[in-house]
Amino acid sequence: MVSCKEGPQQLSKIEGKQLPINASLEEVDSIASFVAPFRNRINEVLDSTLAYAPKPFLLDDGKRNTSMGNLMADIVFEEAAPLFKSRTGNDLDFVVLNYGGVRSIISEGNVSARNAYEVMPFENRIAIVEMSGSAVRELISFLINATRRHPFSGMQIVLDKKGSLESVNIQGMPFDENRTYFVGTSDYLVQGGPSIGFFKDTLSTTDIDYFLRNAIIDHFRKVDTLNAVVDDRFIQLD
Amino acid sequence: MKRRDFITNTAAASTLVGMGGLGLSSCSNLGGKKITILHTNDVHSHIDPFPSSHSQYPNLGGVARRATLVEQIRNENPNTLLFDAGDIFQGTPYFNFYGGELEFKLMSKLKYDAATIGNHDFDNGVDGLLAQMPYASFEMLSANYDFSNTVLDGYVKPYKTYVVDDIKIGVYGLGIALDGLVTKRLYKETRYLDPFEIASDMERQLKEEELCDLIICLSHLGYDYENPQRPSDTQLAQRTSHTQLIIGGHTHTFLEKPDVRINQNGDSVLVNQVGCYGLNVGRIDFYFDATKKATAQGVSISV
């Protein structure tokens, strides 16, 4: 027994390679059958029709705003405003999201919860940020100068021919730099901090315990037909 | 399973020796030993293969197929360990619906030995991760996340040692900076410690106190960044002295072959990462000789 003890080991050679997982590998039956009932349940929930899309909702169909971005921002406004009002007594003024946060378009046809998972795969919640008028002005400048078409709702921005700010209306009223505003958004943009650019300076943040994806699914359940178009919420005069 | 016969943790290994269990393996291959390390990273809840209509990865991946591959390799070499470098969670509705339970149960069925924690493994908070711990038969390793003021206190170890065919293997975990990447509400009082400093501590401990023959880091730092001060696997490889293999994740880097870097001692270090979504498994084979031929002229590496 002792005689075959070899003492310290010396590493002599290393070989490395990458092995692809493809159809040439059979499935282990016990693993496949373990997963199957979970997959079936998920498909059942995700694929039941909740609403109808009469046309595709796209992320590149308008110059300054898009039908898919508008749909998302409008959904967040509609679903979050009543909840925020009942929690705090305050009115939601407008909603701003990030273009990159809308992860998918919605194709024409039946709409299911699967669409909501494609559009919003992450576990982000709706956050309501209280901002000073001057911070809102900075946010508006950020939106104007951004190269991406960040979705918003409840606000209208009009630029003149040269691209300078012509007017801003929030809930149909001219923007007032002397008051504070309540802005709905994704907690990702708030907690991402100043480097993301959206919310550099905030007075308070309210978590309404509402996942963005759940707001989308709730909206799909509520309406028969999805409705959003490229509109005049963000335009440049010509 | 039978695997316990040849892969045991340190404490159990000494028992085995005392009981005469040594006869199982150590005399049989005096000519040399081979340890196989298998690894995945950033599987992101991809349990099923991608559909054949998928534009990027048609009909690729899938955990039931991975199970076959792992089984084949274990049959070929029982002295095999299986690791994951984090971001096990988030990416398909399996996670949204079941919170990671399936992912952990399946990794346990595949007999993973250990995993480190990726930023997305915090997606349901420290509480969400804790809730899935009962389903993990493998070890969660992280040396630079201090969980002592969170519910995960005691559930995550900095390192673990394995004795496989009398070769002692030390494995430690490293995670990425959480601030700015994960919301504070999720990681709570988890403290992120400098991965370079912690790695030095870990490898010294594994080398000098645990007397490991092989030292492996499971890292979710990311492969390489422009800024050399930003912790990455390539920087880690160059700044450490005893770590021989860095199994990486986070950046979803598809390396054509493992990268070879030179460490502080002038020795080679392998850095590997196999993309994401369970599309690949990395395989590194380590061959050991007894030190009778004391003048080992370095290590031959073929990748």
Find the length of chain B: 303
CB contact under 8 A, B299 and A4: no
Rounded Cα gap, residues A139 and A189, in angstroms: 12
pLDDT for the residue A1: 40
Instruction: Kindly tell me if the per-residue pLDDT of B5 is higher than 50.
Output: no
Concatenating the DSSP letter of every residue in A76-135 gives HHHHHHHHHHHHHSPPP-EEE--GGG----B-SEEEEHHHHHHH--S--EEEEEEE-HHH
Cα A8 to the center of its chain, rounded Å: 56
Find the angle CA(B26)-CA(B28)-CA(B31) to the nearest 5 degrees.
95
Among the partner-chain residues B65, B123, B278, the one whose CB lies closest to the CB of A27 is B65
CB B34 within 8 A of CB B79: yes
pLDDT digits (tens, 9 = 90+) for B227-256: 999 999 999 999 999 999 999 999 999 998
- Record the tokens describing residue B196, joined without a space: 């370079």
Q: What is residue B291's predicted lDDT score, i.e. its pLDDT?
A: 64
- pLDDT digits 0-9 by tens, B107-138: 999 999 999 999 999 999 999 999 999 999 99
- Would you call A32 and B64 a contact, using CB atoms and an 8 Å cutoff? yes
Q: Which of residues 189-228 of A touch B (CB under 8 A)?
A: 191-193, 195, 207, 213
Does residue A14 belong to the interface with chain B, where contact is any CB pair within 8 Å? yes
Residue B10 has pLDDT above 50, yes or no: no
A138, A168 in Cβ contact below 8 A? no
Query: Can you give the pLDDT at residue B30?
Result: 58
Nearest to B199, CA basis, from B300, B76, B116, B99: B116
Listed range (A70-74, B88-92, B181-185) with the worst mean pLDDT: B181-185
DSSP E strand boundaries for chain B: 7-9, 33-40, 80-84, 114-116, 139-141, 145-146, 159-164, 167-174, 191-192, 214-219, 245-247, 259-262, 268-272, 280-290, 300-302
- The tokens 């709730």 sit on which residue? A218
pLDDT at residue A193, as a whole number: 62
Contact indicator for A224, A52 with CB cutoff of 8 Å: yes
Average pLDDT of B33-44? Answer: 97
The yes-or-no verdict on residue B292 having pLDDT over 60 is no
Q: How far is A43 from chain B (nearest CA, A)?
A: 9
Amino acid, single-letter form, for residue B126? V
Q: Choose the closest CB to B288 out of A11, A25, A195.
A: A11
- Number of C-beta neighbours around residue B226 at 10 A: 6
- Cα–Cα distance for residue pair A152/A112, rounded to 1 Å: 24
Tokens of B254: 């598809």
10 Å CB burial of residue B215 (0-12, 13-18, 19+) is buried
Residue A208 to residue A203: CA distance in whole angstroms? 16
Asked if pLDDT for residue B3 goes beyond 50, the answer is no
B118 near B87, Cβ under 8 Å?
A: yes
Coil/strand/helix, residue B218: strand
Which pLDDT value is given to residue B6?
45
| φ/ψ of residue A170, rounded to 5 | -120, 120
Mutation to test the A interface, candidates B65, B75, B77, B94, most A Cβ within 10 Å: B65
Q: Which of A203, A184, A72 lies closest to A132 in space, CA to CA?
A: A203
Q: Say what the pLDDT of residue A113 is.
A: 95
What is the C-alpha separation between B196 and B242, in angstroms, rounded? 13
Interface contact B166-A9, CB threshold 8 A: yes
pLDDT at position B185, please? 87
Question: Which of A7, A35, A46 has its CB closest to that of B290?
Answer: A7
For residues B161 and B9, the answer to whether their CB atoms sit within 8 Å is yes
What confidence tier does B55 reach under pLDDT thresholds 50, 70, 90?
confident
Residues of chain A with Cβ-Cβ distance to B77 below 8 Å are none
Give CA–CA dist A208/B43, Å, rounded: 31
The number of beta carbons lying within 10 Å of the beta carbon of residue B41 is 33
Whether the pTM exceeds 0.90: the reply is no
- The helix (run of H) or strand (run of E) holding residue A53 is strand A49-53
C-alpha atoms less than 13 angstroms from C-alpha of A119 in its C-beta half-sphere? 29
Say if residue B21's pLDDT is above 70: no
Q: Give A59-63 contacts, CB < 8 A, sequence gap 24+.
A: A59/A99, A59/A102, A59/A105, A59/A149, A61/A230, A62/A149, A62/A230, A63/A235, A63/A236
For residue A211, how many other CB atoms are within 10 A of its CB?
Answer: 18
Q: Is the dihedral of CA B234, B187, A96, A99 positive or negative?
A: positive
B291 and A7 within 8 Å at the Cβ level: the answer is yes
Q: What is the mean pLDDT of each run of 10 residues along chain A (238 residues)?
A: 56 94 97 97 94 96 97 98 97 96 92 94 92 97 95 98 96 98 95 78 94 97 97 96
Distance CA B150, CA A105 (A): 39
Q: Using CA atoms, how far apart are residues B228 and B251, in angstroms rounded to an integer?
A: 15
pLDDT value for B270: 97
- pLDDT for res A80: 98
Token pair listed for B123: 């997606």
- Interface predicted TM-score (ipTM) of this complex, two decimals: 0.87
Residue A42 to residue B97, Cβ atoms within 8 A: yes
C-alpha to C-alpha distance for A156 and A175, rounded to whole angstroms: 10
Burial class for B303, CB neighbours closer than 10 Å (0-12, 13-18, 19+): middle
Say yes or no for a CB contact (<8 Å) between A12 and B296: yes
Kindly report the average pLDDT of chain B as a whole number. 89
Structure tokens at B4: 């316990």
